[in-house]
Amino acid sequence: MQAQWWKVQTSGIDTNLRGVSVAEMPDAKGVPGPVIWASGSNGVILRSVDEGETWKRLQVTVGDALDLRGIVAFNEKMAYLMSSGEGEKSRIYKTTDGGETWRLQYTDKRKEFFLDAIACHTETRCFALSDPIDGKFLLLSTSDGEHWNPLPSANMAAALPGEGVFAASNSGLVVSGEEIFFGTGGPAARVFHSPDLGHTWTVAETPIASGKPSAGIFSLAIDDNDRIMAVGGDYKEPGRPYRAAAYSVDGGKTWQLVARQPGGYRSAVAHIDDGRWVAAGPNGEDFSSDSGVHWKH
């Protein structure tokens, strides 16, 4: 990745930022420009309307102690927000006034309830994923942007003992058209796939590093040709470039390791355009210009 692509931005907040979402808003002349939302620990929510030059801190009522690990924005006014933690510490909020006020839309008192990621198909059709409850992953859905309900899990394979989803960068769950994918870790690094917005499911093994509670898939992304990229590894060994990236060209049925691995554990991956991809982790970023087959640290 060329160094000039990156510019360090100062938020003024001492916290761990976990979620970021970029949407569009019109300027004074009606020309679309980026609005950036970010969220993190200690209830921190930030928003920038000048490409990151300045940031405004927003507040969630009774949310200062929340770990806000996921945010999905659609414009300068509307965004969904997800917190992670056991039971009622996992919540879904929504704002329609630029973050001035947030409405609590969903939570669950069961201690096994732990939200890992939130993703949207449209402004009103969204999904949120929890770690397993009663042996299966729990996927929540809203079709009106207001009310959330668990989807039936009868057609979903059971989770393995100790298997979970990492609430790392809010990119372990991906929605693309009618398809939903999510990646797991722990005893195995698997990808669950639904072709019909969560009604039926298949699951596939991947060669991403696993076998430890700290290892597995941390992020998924899809390009315009339906190539799926998975990155992860072991977050306790951030500098070890071992089985940290794999890809699928058949809709997630089969997976193969990339020819040249990223420079270590990676918690986020994104498709830029054409065959260009970028991945990031604690020890830096990696760039691929050949559809993720070879990565340069």
Q: What are phi and psi of 87, to 5 degrees?
A: 60, -125
Q: Tell me the mean pLDDT in the region 90-97.
A: 97
231 pLDDT tier (thresholds 50, 70, 90)? very high
| 191-203 pLDDT, tens digit each | 999 999 999 999 9
d(CA 197, CA 289): 31
3-class secondary structure, 40: strand
d(CA 83, CA 75): 20
| 66-85 pLDDT, tens digit each | 999 999 999 999 999 999 99
d(CA 131, CA 133): 7
Q: In the predicted model, is pLDDT for residue 1 greater than 50? A: no
User: Which distant-in-sequence residues (6+ apart) come within 8 Å of 67 by Cβ?
Assistant: 18, 40, 41, 42, 83, 84, 85, 89
Domains of the chain: 11-150 (2.120.10.10), 155-297 (2.130.10.10)
Alpha helices in the chain (DSSP H): none
Closest CA to 246 of 226, 263, 227: 227
Output the pTM of the full model.
0.92
Q: Give pLDDT, residue 74.
A: 96
d(CA 78, CA 74): 6
3-class secondary structure, 289: coil
Q: What are phi and psi of 258, to 5 degrees?
A: -70, 155
| 38-60 pLDDT, tens digit each | 999 889 999 999 888 899 999 88
Q: Give pLDDT, residue 258.
A: 97
Find the radius of gyration of the CA atoms of the chain: 18
Q: What does the mean pLDDT of the chain come to?
A: 93
Q: In the predicted model, is pLDDT for residue 297 greater than 90? A: no
Q: Tell me the mean pLDDT in the region 34-38.
A: 94
